Amino acid sequence: SAVISQKPSRDICQRGTSLTIQCQVDSQVTMMFWYRQQPGQSLTLIATANQGSEATYESGFVIDKFPISRPNLTFSTLTVSNMSPEDSSIYLCSVELAARRTGELFFGEGSRLTVL
Amino acid sequence: GENVEQHPSTLSVQEGDSAVIKCTYSDSASNYFPWYKQELGKRPQLIIDIRSNVGEKKDQRIAVTLNKTAKHFSLHITETQPEDSAVYFCAASNNNAGNMLTFGGGTRLMVKP
Q: Which residue has the higher pLDDT, A29 or A100?
A: A29
The minimum CA-CA distance between A110 and chain B, rounded to whole Å, is: 7
Predicted local distance difference test score (pLDDT) of residue A98 = 85
Q: What is the pLDDT of residues A78-102, one digit of tens each?
A: 999 999 999 999 999 999 988 877 7
Report chain B's C-alpha Rg in angstroms. 13
What pLDDT digit, counting tens, does each position of A9-21 carry? 999 999 999 999 9
The 3-state secondary structure of A13-45 reads: ECCCCCEEEEEEECCCEEEEEEEEECCCCCEEE
The answer to whether residues A111 and A8 touch, using CB atoms and an 8 Å cutoff, is yes
CB atoms within 10 A of CB B27: 16
**Averaged pLDDT of chain A:** 94
Q: Residue range A35-64: average pLDDT?
A: 94
Task: Answer whether B44 touches A (CB < 8 Å).
Answer: yes
Q: Across the interface, which of B99, B102, B106 has its CB nearest the CB of A31?
A: B99
Confidence band, pLDDT 50/70/90 cuts, at residue B34 = very high
